[in-house]
Amino acid sequence: MSSNAMLEPEPTPIVACTISRDVSNFDMLIEDMETVMGNGWGDLTFADAQVYFNQPDSDLLEFVAIAIDHASENELATIAALVSTAKEKDIKVILVAKDVSPSVLHQLLRLGAADFIPYPLPNGELKAAVERIRALAYAPSRTAIQVQPETIETVQPQQPQGSYAGIILPIHGLAGGTGATTFAVNLAWELANSGSKQEEGPRVCLIDLDLQFGSVSTYLDLPRRDNVFALLSDVDTMDSASFMQAMVKYEEKLHVLTAPFEMLPLDMLDVSDITRILDTAKSNFDFVIIDMPSTLVNWTETVLNACNLYFAMIDLDMRSAQNAMRFMRLMASEELPAEKLRFALNRAPKFTDMNGKNRVKRMAESLEIAIELQLPDGGKPILQAGDNGVPLAIAAPKNLLRKEILNLASSVLELKSSKQAVQQ
Ligand SMILES: Nc1ncnc2c1ncn2[C@@H]1O[C@H](COP(=O)(O)OP(=O)(O)OP(=O)(O)O)[C@@H](O)[C@H]1O
Ligand SMILES: [Mg+2]
């Protein structure tokens, strides 16, 4: 070896690769790979990657970022084969998806891709994805990192009952921040606590279908379990046991299916997936509370048709009024079951606020709806309870909002009794 060669620094080993049709279409990925991996990465085309995976050097790869756009959907078979080979070789796959249809994404995730990030890449997202896959690869026990045993208990497989006929109650904020999650979490908790010393309370589950920004896990301080993502990416093979196992229990009483850790496209789930999730939930619980995304999706109608009552949360403002109007128009044009709708006005004016009361009346009249449920403003304690991950019944039992939700829970329980009476 010449002395010059000895002075040359050791080349950085390549431990990551981008794989794409043409990496120059993914400028931000190049920048982010440089930030996260320095010189330790290379770029390959789909064809190059097939060859490279057969070479011993590829054993050093920690992960590959497969970047796909609409045009590369034509090469889906090649891409799918790459994902499968990477999985066999224990190389983690991060999908970087630009205008890719949800079904393609779904397929690749099912084949074993570990994570996906939309393109343009959100700031810091590649770094976060790499950290996640490293945590999975190097954690002595995957569950030890994600699950805190003192608060969470894996539901035992013998628990799925499969013989219930649950009442489905979705909650849909018709504008962002109207309080849908606060309402869903606390209604579920009040129902779960409605048993007495003599009688066990109803079996209640809370499902966060706000797949991208779901905050049920935050409001109950629960971890987002890995198997939620696995469950949602392959609902076809879900059964009562896998459904129950993806849930975490809050304080022994409330079963919660949190939103997954990954931000998934809302149309990753289709109508048949949702039908299966609802059927499974219904057959295992007395009450199924669902936190819906604000956005309308192709399965909103499925939930509307399957539910018993559908709570639409609004605030007393123009934004909510306009969205409520558009929602009602849609209900009429699609012949959806408007009789199931229950409008819930959050932060409703106090009894003594005559001016506010008049505004509510005018809003209801102009929308031609009944606003049957009015939830008071509970002030700062509501935000604090959410931030601390504790239901209002524990954090602020005397709060006016908590009392109103408790009242509603009693009415909902009566609904259950009357349904049972009709069935007998
Ligand atoms: N009745 C209320 N009184 C006081 N604060 C409230 C009330 N309802 C909700 N909040 C607060 O408003 C904020 C938004 O509530 P929440 O997250 O429940 O709304 P959301 O409709 O689920 O929002 P997103 O659109 O983000 O899903 C939270 O900080 C919550 O604590
Ligand atoms: Mg919410």
Find the 209 Cα to ligand 2 centroid distance in Å. Answer: 10
Least confident of 261-265, 312-316, 344-348: 261-265
pLDDT over threshold 80, residue 248: yes
The candidate with the shortest Cα–Cα distance to 300, out of 331, 322, 321, 326, is 331
pLDDT at 150: 33
Query: Which CATH number does the domain housing residue 28 bear?
Result: 3.40.50.2300
Least confident of 36-45, 59-68, 127-136, 281-290: 127-136
Nearest-atom index, ligand 1, CA of 383: 31
- On whether the CB atoms of residues 152 and 274 are closer than 8 A, the answer is no
pLDDT at 57: 87
Tell whether 268 and 397 lie within a shared domain.
Answer: yes
Please give the helix or strand (H or E) that residue 291 lies within, else none.
strand 287-291
Tell whether 177 and 62 lie within a shared domain.
Answer: no
pLDDT over threshold 70, residue 95: yes
In which domain, by residue range, is 32 found?
12-138
Q: Please give the backbone phi and psi of residue 160, each rounded to the nearest 5 degrees, phi first.
A: -55, 130
Nearest-atom index, ligand 1, CA of 293: 27
d(CA 157, CA 229): 19
Domain contains 254: yes
Tell whether 112 and 207 lie within a shared domain.
Answer: no
Give the 3-state secondary structure of residue 155.
coil
Give the 3-state secondary structure of residue 288.
strand
Least confident of 29-38, 106-115, 260-269: 106-115
Percent of the chain exceeding pLDDT 90 equals 67
pTM higher than the cut 0.75? no
Find the 418 Cα to ligand 2 centroid distance in Å. Answer: 30
Find the 316 Cα to ligand 2 centroid distance in Å. Answer: 18
Sign of CA dihedral 71, 72, 73, 77: positive
Tokens matching residue 391: 């239901």
pLDDT over threshold 90, residue 116: no
Q: For ligand 1, atom 11, name the residue with the nearest CA.
A: 383
pLDDT at 424: 62
Nearest-atom index, ligand 1, CA of 377: 3
Tell whether 40 and 121 lie within a shared domain.
Answer: yes
> Which of the four pLDDT bands, split at 50, 70 and 90, describes residue 10?
low
Domain contains 86: yes
Tell whether 179 and 133 lie within a shared domain.
Answer: no
What average pLDDT score do residues 190-218 get?
92
pLDDT at 137: 67
Of 138, 153, 181, which residue constitutes the final position of a domain?
Answer: 138
Find the 290 Cα to ligand 2 centroid distance in Å. Answer: 11
Q: How many CA atoms lie within 13 A of 315 on its CB side?
A: 11
Tell whether 132 and 268 lie within a shared domain.
Answer: no
d(CA 28, CA 33): 8
Q: Starting from the CA of residue 176, give the closest ligand.
A: 1
d(CA 176, CA 154): 32
Nearest-atom index, ligand 1, CA of 385: 31
Tell whether 123 and 251 lie within a shared domain.
Answer: no
- On whether the CB atoms of residues 5 and 54 are closer than 8 A, the answer is no
The secondary structure of 160-210 as a DSSP string is ------PEEEEEEESSTTSSHHHHHHHHHHHHHT---SSSPPPPEEEEE--
Least confident of 28-37, 160-169, 315-324: 160-169
Tell whether 173 and 321 lie within a shared domain.
Answer: yes
Give all strands of the β-sheet with 115-118 in edge-to-edge order: 41-44, 16-20, 63-69, 92-98, 115-118
Domain contains 101: yes
pLDDT at 423: 63
Q: Starting from the CA of residue 402, give the closest ligand.
A: 1
Tell whether 130 and 178 lie within a shared domain.
Answer: no
Domain contains 238: yes
Domain contains 145: no
> Which of the four pLDDT bands, split at 50, 70 and 90, describes residue 5?
very low
Please give the helix or strand (H or E) that residue 347 lies within, else none.
strand 341-348
Task: Please state the domain count of the chain.
Answer: 2
pLDDT at 9: 56
Is residue 386 lining ligand 1, measured as CB closer than 6 Å? yes
Query: Cα–Cα distances in Å, from 424 out to 199, 283, 288?
Result: 20, 18, 22
Q: For ligand 1, atom 16, name the residue with the nearest CA.
A: 179
pLDDT at 414: 87
Find the 44 Cα to ligand 2 centroid distance in Å. Answer: 41
Give the 3-state secondary structure of residue 119.
coil
Tell whether 254 and 339 lie within a shared domain.
Answer: yes
Is residue 178 lining ligand 1, measured as CB closer than 6 Å? yes
Tens-digit pLDDT profile for residues 268-316: 899 999 999 999 999 999 999 999 999 999 999 999 999 999 999 999 9
Query: Which CATH number does the domain housing residue 337 bear?
Result: 3.40.50.300
Domain contains 159: no
pLDDT at 152: 36
Tell whether 305 and 414 lie within a shared domain.
Answer: yes
pLDDT at 4: 47
d(CA 301, CA 114): 31
Nearest-atom index, ligand 1, CA of 176: 25
Tens-digit pLDDT profile for residues 144-171: 223 233 333 434 433 445 788 899 999 9
pLDDT at 389: 97
pLDDT over threshold 80, residue 102: no
Is residue 391 lining ligand 1, measured as CB closer than 6 Å? no
Tell whether 75 and 193 lie within a shared domain.
Answer: no
pLDDT at 245: 93
Residue-averaged pLDDT of the chain = 88
Find the 394 Cα to ligand 1 centroid distance in Å. Answer: 18
Find the 228 Cα to ligand 1 centroid distance in Å. Answer: 24
What average pLDDT score do residues 373-389 get?
97
pLDDT at 138: 56
- On whether the CB atoms of residues 192 and 224 are closer than 8 A, the answer is no
Q: Please give the backbone phi and psi of residue 95, each rounded to the nearest 5 degrees, phi first.
A: -90, 135
